Amino acid sequence: MSPRWLGRCPGCGGYNTMVEEVADTRSVTTPVGNSSVQPVRLVDVPADSVTRIGTGVPEVDRVLGGGVVPGALILLGGDPGIGKSTLMLQLAAHVAQDGPVLYVSAEESLAQTRLRMERIVPDAPAGVHLLADGRLDLLEAALAASSWRLVVVDSLQTVYDPEAESAPGSVSQVRQVASRLLRFAKAQDVPVFLVGHVNKEGSGRPRAVGNAA
């Protein structure tokens, strides 16, 4: 963090890598006094077995420890064009055989996403639902409209909060979107995949805010 513009980042040593982040001045209510949420001893937590969700791709299941954990927020990052969206469409089609899946693609229209899905998975199930809009309020409304088995956001940089002053894809926007999607995943026990792109300079990869465990 720096109060003024710097040509070279003192942290990573790169040039022109620092971006302006506008502070969110909206009021946040902080609970005081008695709270219904209290710390719980580890030994008092029920040792319920977690049923992981299979992705249909053995290597992905292996990386995730045997499948996707309900309520997990998973970041899939990489260079453009390496197959992130292709992999996510395959996963969405497989999981949709057992329940509704929401696939958010703000970079493409509904028709474009359907054509890509039919090219990758010709017999894609009807359980895949598409949303081609990057506004966070519309995304949250869609999340609350159904009990999703899986949610895919492609990509994280294209989803934005219209009430925030910073531009879509900025550090503050990415942080805000990821934080609210994390709260949704934990509250509804729904796994969420976030696709993050890396630009030609090798930067732009958002920090992972959750994992499969």
List pLDDT tens digits, range 40-64.
999 998 877 789 999 999 999 999 9
Q: Residue 9: its pLDDT value, please?
A: 75
Name the one residue in this structure whose structure tokens are 């531009």. 167
- Residue showing tokens 């260079």: 79
Q: Considering the entire predicted model, what is its pTM?
A: 0.78
Give dist(CA 171, CA 190) in Å, integer.
25
pLDDT of 18 over the 60 cut: yes
DSSP string for residues in 133-191: --BHHHHHHHHHTS--SEEEEE-GGG-B-TTSSSPTTSHHHHHHHHHHHHHHHHHHT--
Q: Are 143 and 102 in contact (CB under 8 A)?
A: yes
- CATH no. of 53-197: 3.40.50.300
> How far, CA to CA in Å, does 17 sit from each of 155, 162, 185, 203?
21, 25, 31, 8
Q: What's the pLDDT at 213?
A: 39
Decide if 70 contacts 191 (C-beta within 8 A): yes
Peptide bond into 172 cis (omega under 30): no
pLDDT tens for each residue of 119-158: 999 998 999 999 999 999 999 999 999 999 999 999 999 9
| % of the chain residues with pLDDT over 90 | 62
